């Protein structure tokens, strides 16, 4: 894992941009392939995208927020729709701790 991504401590994420001071805004990118949340198949189609914001651990005494793009997916295996899930961030979770 590159040194700059050690502060995230989330698998598959890379820091793209850091801005702000209080709160510290980390724009990140998810590097791995999207999978179906129901059957874990890789045969999915991206339907639409949305920006997701999740509170992250404190850096010093400053709040930090992760901002990243997530997708609504259609699975060709099970025929179901769902939103992309990320390791370390559960469904409907607003914080990584």
Q: What is the pLDDT of residues 65-87, one digit of tens each?
A: 999 999 999 999 999 999 999 99
Mean pLDDT, to the nearest integer, of 37-60?
94
Mean pLDDT, to the nearest integer, of 41-45?
96
pLDDT of residue 1: 53
Domain ranges of the chain: 3-83
Tokens representing 85 are 């899930």
pTM of this structure: 0.82
Confidence check: pLDDT of 91 > 70:
yes
Contacts of 12 (CB under 8 A, 6+ apart): 30, 31, 32, 86, 87
Contacts of 22 (CB under 8 A, 6+ apart): 62, 63
Q: In DSSP terms, which residues pair with 30 in a beta bridge?
A: 13
């Amino acid at each position: 894992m590159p040194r700059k991504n050690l502060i995230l401590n989330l698998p598959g994420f890379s820091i793209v941009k850091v801005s702000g001071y209080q709160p510290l805004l980390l724009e990140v990118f998810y590097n791995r392939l999207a999978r179906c949340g129901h059957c874990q198949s890789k045969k999915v189609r991206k339907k639409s995208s949305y920006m997701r914001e999740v509170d992250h651990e404190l850096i010093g005494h400053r709040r930090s927020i992760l901002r990243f793009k997530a997708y609504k997916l259609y699975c060709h295996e099970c025929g179901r729709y769902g939103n992309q899930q990320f390791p370390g961030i559960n469904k409907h979770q607003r914080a990584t701790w």
